Amino acid sequence: MIAYAVSRLLQAIPILFLVSLFAFGMIYLIPGDAATVMGGPEASAADLERIRENMGLNEPFLQQIVSFYVNLLQGDLGQSLMLGTPVLDAIIDRTPITLGISLYSLAVTIVFGLLTGIVAALNHNKLLDQAATLFALIGISLPNFWLALVMIVVFSVHLGWLPTGGYVPFSESPMGWLRTTTMPALALALLQAGLLTRITRSTMLEVLSQDYIRTARAKGLTEWQVIGQHALANVMMPVVTVLGLILSVLLSGSIVIEAIFGIPGLGALMGNAILSRDFPLVQGGLISIACSLLLLNIVVDVLYFWLDPRVRIKGGD
């Protein structure tokens, strides 16, 4: 299994190189830079040129790309123009915030998505199945930014249960953290839970129609044994794949939700870095997101390896 994980890690290197090259090249493809944003709408072209010069944005392409890769190989992602701090520090500071909300959201997704999917499959074509399908459809159909705004109106403005936004670190106040992250986590989770419900339901229905399930039932196993010991293990294969995808979406796709709730996470950081044309931060953020997604994929692959004997055999273990 270790050899398998190492080989997957090695395969990630060229992908990371391509991502970093894309991140760097992007600067030269889109107009506007940090000087444009910093100077504001009433700055003249001459003013902007001077700001560029002072910020070192005027250096030749070759010089910039060489120093970018030399620094990258030394683990230095550069200095953020917006924050005035090392990019790596900014990412390390913000990652726990986004990761915390993503994991909270993932937990909600798993509980709701898996349970609803299983219940729906076990009650195929009955009222519970239809209710679960409706829930999944609503989850998939509602844009999460809209849901977030509706939640603010209901839970903050009308009921006064939760704050409209902001963020309290867990270390400062666990209850404060829970209060400030619940709505963002739920807003992010609903779509994913809908997706997971559908996947779980359809996979479970397919598994339940397999011969080995019929055999298990014929052996006289109870329904719970059939589901728990035989069906779930096979349902987990596609579900793990989807969960990996869901976590990657949650990690990289929280820009809008973080902006709505004013959460200083990785998503908000990246969103502002793009709007401020803080290219070192955008580059660093893309590379770190790519790293985390690659790592996540490797974890999912290793989980496959562990869950599915067929992969083990193919992998030569």
Partner 1 sequence: MMKTRKARLALLSTAVAGLMSAVGSVSAQETFECPKVGGDLIVAVESGIPTLDQHTTSAGATRNIAMNIYESLITRDADMSPVLDLATNMDVSDDGLRYTFHLREGVTFHNGKPMTSADVAASFARYKEIGGNRSNLDIVETWETPDDNTFVLVLKQPQATFIENLSTYTVPIVIMPAEEAAKGVGEVDIIGTGPFKLVEFVPDSHVLLERFDDYVASDVQPGLSGFGGHKQACVDTVRFRMITETGARMAALETGEVHIATSVPATSKPRLEALDDVTLVSRLQGVSMGYPNFSRSPTDNLLVRQAMAAAINAEDIIFAASDGEYELEGALQYPSQAYYSTAGLEYYNQNDPDKASALLEEAGYDGEPVILLATQQFQWSYNAALVMNEQLKVAGFNSEVSVLDWPTALATSQNADGAWNFFFTVWTSTVQQGGPIALRNFADPNNVFTPPNNEGPAEFNAIFDRVENGATLEERIAAFGEGQEYAFENVLGITFGILRATEGLRPNVRGYKSFTNVQVSNIWLDD
The residues that touch partner 1, with contacts defined as CB under 8 A, are: 30-33, 36-48, 50-51, 54-55, 81-84, 148-149, 152-153, 156-157, 160, 163-167, 259-264, 268-269, 271-272, 274-277
Nearer to partner 1, 96 or 315 (CB): 96
Residue 204's nearest CA partner among 120, 303, 111 is 120
Nearer to partner 1, 246 or 266 (CB): 266
Q: How far is the CB of 309 from partner 1 (least distance, A)?
A: 47
Q: How far is the CB of 272 from partner 1 (least distance, A)?
A: 4
Nearer to partner 1, 43 or 103 (CB): 43
Q: How far is the CB of 43 from partner 1 (least distance, A)?
A: 6
Nearer to partner 1, 34 or 106 (CB): 34
DSSP letter string, the chain: -HHHHHHHHHHHHHHHHHHHHHHHHHHHHSS--HHHHHH-TT--HHHHHHHHHHHTTTS-HHHHHHHHHHHHHTT---B-TTTSSBHHHHHHHHHHHHHHHHHHHHHHHHHHHHHHHHHHHHTTTSHHHHHHHHHHHHHHHS-HHHHHHHHIIIIIIIS--S-SS----TTT-HHHHHHHHHHHHHHHHHHHHHHHHHHHHHHHHHHHTSHHHHHHHHTT--HHHIIIIIIHHHHHHHHHHHHHHHHHHHHHS-HHHHHHHT--SHHHHHHHHHHTT-HHHHHHHHHHHHHHHHHHHHHHHHHHHHH-HHHHHHHT-
Q: How far is the CB of 55 from partner 1 (least distance, A)?
A: 5
Nearer to partner 1, 38 or 227 (CB): 38
Nearer to partner 1, 230 or 277 (CB): 277
Q: How far is the CB of 32 from partner 1 (least distance, A)?
A: 3
Q: How far is the CB of 79 from partner 1 (least distance, A)?
A: 10
Nearer to partner 1, 32 or 143 (CB): 32
Q: How far is the CB of 97 from partner 1 (least distance, A)?
A: 10
